[in-house]
């Protein structure tokens, strides 16, 4: 048994080489395809066809330059940004408003009201997508508009937002609130001046989640948006179908499209994870 030899090393920081090896393989497998896409964008189609496994030789920037100088990319990026910003603002504002009384008021039916939000999590977007398409494009006349995609996306982000924010707001110290009430502040003033500033870390977590979710969304934009109004994921899928022969171009387009969400999420990863842990622990 290898127990004996392992024992003294455990938790002393002197991790053995096998552990590093396994970790490296895991990372290579997860990041490899992404890296291959990014590198592929620096090759020509000829290079890719000839030697699929080789590094770029010579490095070509035409694909990336082509994507960045073309109008469609920036149109898609603008649409994605505007839709994600609207979704995020609506989700965070409505979400924290709803979470506030659920966390800090005492009233009959409070838990029942909270269950409504929890239940909202159980409805897969796929179930509602066809009627949603009809509702938005026909009844509301919002088909092919930013709002038409952002509002339903906000609706589907709200349950999670409330579920995350509620324990967060519950944990805020009660004394501040009491002091302010004694000083004659109104409930709404209290919410605005005390609760909101104190809950910023929680708001960042839910905001990033809502933003990235909207940025990455596919099914709803696919049904609702056409032509000039399409978002980046749709643009990537379209580009990939229309330029199926231009592998290097597709890889360049795809790589650029993934950068914003990656940067945002990785930059704020710690805050998101700690926000989620807080919520899971309750």
Rounded to whole angstroms, how far apart are CA atoms 109 and 82?
Answer: 37
Applying CB under 8 A, does 112 fall inside the site for another protein?
no
Which residues inside 37-56 make contact with another protein, applying CB under 8 A? 37, 40, 48-49, 51-53
Scan residues 172-231 and list those touching another protein (CB under 8 A). 174, 177-178, 181-182, 187-188, 191, 209, 212-213, 215-219, 222-223
Nearer to another protein, 61 or 219 (CB): 219
Applying the rule CB under 8 A, the residues between 224 and 263 that interact with another protein are 233-234, 236-237, 240, 247, 250-251, 254, 257-258, 261-262
Judged by beta carbon, residue 106 or residue 227, the one nearer another protein is: 106
Closest distance of CB 26 from another protein, Å:
6
Burial zone of 252 (CB within 10 Å; 0-12 exposed, 13-18 middle, 19+ buried): buried
Which range, of 61-69, 70-78, 119-127, 196-204, touches another protein by CB under 8 A? 119-127
Q: Where are the alpha helices (DSSP H) in the chain?
A: 3-6, 17-40, 45-50, 62-69, 71-104, 110-120, 125-134, 146-170, 174-182, 187-190, 196-198, 200-216, 219-224, 232-242, 247-267, 269-281
CB 132, min distance to another protein, A: 4
Closest CA to 260 of 14, 26, 74: 74
CB of 262 to another protein, least distance (A): 6
């Amino acid at each position: 048994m290898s127990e004996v030899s392992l024992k003294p090393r455990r938790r002393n920081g002197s991790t053995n080489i096998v552990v590093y090896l396994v970790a490296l393989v895991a990372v290579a497998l997860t990041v490899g395809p992404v890296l291959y896409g990014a590198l592929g964008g620096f090759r020509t189609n000829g290079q890719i066809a000839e030697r699929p496994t080789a590094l770029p030789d010579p490095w070509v920037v035409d694909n990336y330059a082509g994507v960045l100088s073309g109008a469609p990319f920036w149109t898609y990026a603008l649409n994605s940004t505007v839709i994600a910003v609207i979704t995020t603002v609506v989700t965070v504002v409505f979400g924290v408003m709803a979470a506030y009384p659920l966390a800090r008021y005492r009233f009959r039916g409070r838990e029942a009201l909270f269950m409504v939000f929890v239940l909202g999590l159980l409805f897969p977007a796929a179930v509602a997508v066809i009627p949603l398409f009809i509702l938005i494009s026909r009844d509301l006349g919002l088909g092919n508009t930013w709002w038409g995609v952002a509002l339903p996306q906000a609706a589907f982000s709200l349950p999670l937002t409330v579920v995350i924010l509620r324990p967060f707001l519950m944990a805020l110290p009660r004394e501040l609130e009491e002091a302010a009430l004694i000083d004659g502040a109104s409930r709404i003033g209290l919410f605005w001046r005390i609760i909101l500033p104190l809950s910023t870390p929680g708001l960042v977590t839910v905001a990033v989640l809502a933003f990235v979710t909207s940025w990455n969304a596919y099914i709803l934009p696919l049904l609702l948006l056409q032509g000039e109004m399409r978002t980046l994921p749709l643009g990537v899928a379209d580009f990939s179908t229309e330029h199926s022969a231009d592998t290097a171009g597709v890889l360049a387009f795809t790589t650029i499209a993934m950068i914003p969400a990656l940067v945002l999420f990785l930059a704020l990863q710690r805050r998101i994870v700690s926000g989620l842990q807080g919520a899971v622990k309750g």
